Amino acid sequence: MTVADVTKQTERVIVRAHGGGGEMMARLIQDHILAALGNRTLNELTDGAVLSTTTSRLVFTTDSFVVAPLEFPGGDIGRLAVCGTINDLAVMGGRPIGLSLGMIIEEGFELSSLDRILNSVADAATEAGVPVVTGDTKVIEHGIGGTGLFLNTAGVAELDDAVHLGFSRIQPGDAVLVNGTLGDHGMAVLSVRNGIEFQTILKSDAAPLNGLIAEVLAAGVDVRFMRDPTRGGLAGVLADISANAGLGVEIEEDRVPVNTAVRAAAEMLGFDVLTVANEGKVVLVVPDKDRERCLGVMRRHRYGRRSANIGRIVTGDPPLVELITRTGGRRIVQRPYGEELPRIC
């Protein structure tokens, strides 16, 4: 097939890049999903929807998990399914109160594997302090999906009156913080999938961040915006910030925490670590005056020991995301286009 044929095909049918968290997926969401279903709440395209009742505000979100393989160093599909939904609620400023668990299982799936994954769901839910309160199970014929199991979790969180987060609150001069090393999850899954052995075992960072985020908010940090850099990585989140706030973002390469083994693996396999998925990371935008206090709170938490101030919000026309390299050069950071890493979460 020529490039033109491939382009024509991607206009007619779903291709894997439509699920990659990049430009292709953004177009699918805009031109098809929002075209059919768009409304004021959905159009925000935030990590969760804020729903107001007469007495309170809730955050509501859902996420499906198709990771292959089901188990990898540092986690499995069960831990991911809990952490992914909890983190989407937490980055909206919510206090998660309950989860659903939907399972689609192929016939022939080993019950011992299912038990291991359910125990992992239970462990992660207990760690986060958020129970699974409802669920659904479907069994389908063999031969769909390859791994034998898909999960979906939805979650609900309470949203405190004092919490107001959004792209519109981001200001030039704000600091951009992250709670630790980037790229761990994506490179861990990729290394087991391809049977690649590195000298150090690469471990997923999958973790529930509701505790860390609650401590930041309780400390009175005036958080402007948060997002978890999952598919599309840090590059995807910064591109969203820049596009939606209409402001530039400057990141300093030597301040971005990356494990040595992850950096080596990414370089060897030709991945830009800034676009690789994380499952236990949050990007925060805070006023510069709150920066050190926020970092102090984060570093005291077990999931924030390597928290760092990686850059700042700037004015810019057009607004760009730029990486200031170790040698002082500048490189434009692009949102990944399509499928960097299939079935990573």
- Sign of the CA dihedral running 133, 138, 142, 145: negative
Question: What's the CA gap between 246 and 317, in Å, rounded?
Answer: 9
With respect to Mg ion, which residue has the nearer C-beta, 87 or 191?
87
CA-nearest of 197, 341, 214, 225 to 279 is 341
Q: Closer to Mg ion by CB, 236 or 311: give it.
A: 236
The amino acid at residue 280 is G
**What residues make contact with Mg ion under the rule CB under 5 A?**
47, 88, 228
Burial class (CB in 10 A: 0-12, 13-18, 19+), 61: buried
Cα–Cα distance between 95 and 101 in angstroms, integer? 18
DSSP type of residue 19: G
Min separation Cβ 282 and Mg ion, Å: 9
Q: Which residues contact 105 (CB under 8 A, 6 or more apart)?
A: 114, 137, 138, 139, 140, 148, 149
- Based on CB atoms, which residue is closest to Mg ion, 47 or 339? 47
Please give the Cα distance from 277 to 22 (Å, whole number): 12
Longest distance between any two alpha carbons in the chain, whole Å:
58
Q: Output the smallest distance, CB 22 to Mg ion, in A.
A: 15
Round to the nearest angstrom and report the end-to-end CA distance of the chain.
30
Least distance in angstroms from the C-beta of 114 to Mg ion: 26
Residue 241 Cβ vs Mg ion, minimum distance, rounded to whole Å: 13
Compute the least distance from the CB of residue 229 to Mg ion, in Å. 8
- In the complex, the smallest distance separating the C-beta of residue 160 from Mg ion, rounded to whole angstroms, is 20
CB-based closest residue to Mg ion: 47
